[in-house]
């Protein structure tokens, strides 16, 4: 999530400020187009893949986190009509109108979602989620693992408490490759490193990530003896 905040900051600062204070931007595994995990947290509860936490109990708190609404799947990376919630009675896309209906159907207030939509309007109008930050950018992420792209319910009585997953694509188990690779579209992106089958949290501790970060940081320095 830090990458999203950094990107927002960079897009709001002047080129003069960025030229003076920023050498480059190295985002790791950033959910530029959102993550289905955030939607799962709001709808059914997210136990961080522990198998220990009671999802319905933690969901009470997760529905109050503005960050979960900020990280919802972005319709701009979705196919037309693609469902992010699939249930016997109906499907919901990532469009704001469908999300508002979903939250009403599960008894969640829409105030936080509306606040996020309003605060993101400036970025959305300027090309979110694919607006270049205006500094040299080096994207790093892992993929190659099955990553859910929708929250699914097999029976009407399962909705919204007992979800399952049926639709997957490549990603890091938390964020899809489709979402992480948005940065590849930017004019300021110098390189994109996909380090393979690593989960979301492992990227930071992977030697290949660390080596790449060191290489980037010292790329413009002369190596004198």
Q: How far is the C-alpha of 121 from the C-alpha of 105, rounded, in Å?
A: 25
**C-alpha dihedral over 14, 20, 21, 23, to 10 degrees?**
100
Q: pLDDT of the chain along its 225 residues, tens only?
A: 789 989 989 988 999 999 999 999 999 999 999 999 999 999 999 888 777 889 999 999 999 999 999 999 999 999 999 999 999 999 999 999 999 999 999 999 999 999 998 877 765 555 556 578 999 999 999 999 999 999 999 999 999 999 888 899 999 999 999 999 999 999 999 999 999 888 898 888 999 999 999 999 998 775 444
Q: Is 121 exposed, middle or buried (0-12, 13-18, 19+ CB in 10 A)?
A: exposed
**Pair of tokens at residue 1:** 């999530």
Tokens 């060191």 belong to residue: 214
Give the pTM: 0.89
Do β-strands 91-93 and 83-86 pair in parallel, antiparallel, or remain unpaired?
antiparallel
């Amino acid at each position: 999530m830090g990458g999203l905040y950094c990107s927002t900051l960079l897009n709001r600062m002047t080129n003069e400020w960025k030229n003076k204070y920023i050498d480059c931007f190295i985002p790791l595994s950033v959910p530029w187009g959102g993550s289905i995990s955030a939607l799962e947290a709001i709808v059914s509860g997210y136990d961080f893949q522990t198998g220990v936490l009671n999802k319905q109990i933690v969901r009470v708190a997760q529905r109050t986190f503005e960050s979960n609404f900020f990280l919802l799947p972005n319709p701009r990376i979705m196919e037309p009509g693609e469902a992010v919630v699939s249930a016997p009675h109906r499907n919901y896309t990532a469009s704001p109108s469908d999300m508002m209906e979903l939250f009403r159907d599960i008894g969640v207030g829409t105030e936080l979602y509306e606040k996020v939509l309003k605060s993101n309007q400036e970025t959305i109008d300027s090309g979110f989620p694919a607006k270049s930050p205006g500094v040299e950018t080096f994207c790093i992420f892992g993929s190659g693992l099955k990553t859910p792209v929708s929250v699914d319910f097999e029976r009407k009585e399962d909705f919204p408490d007992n979800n399952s997953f049926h639709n997957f694509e490549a990603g890091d188990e938390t964020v899809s490759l489709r979402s992480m690779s948005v940065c590849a579209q930017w004019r300021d992106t110098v390189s994109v490193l996909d380090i393979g089958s690593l989960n979301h949290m492992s990227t930071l501790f992977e030697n290949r990530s660390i080596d790449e970060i060191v290489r980037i940081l010292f790329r413009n320095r002369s190596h004198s003896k």
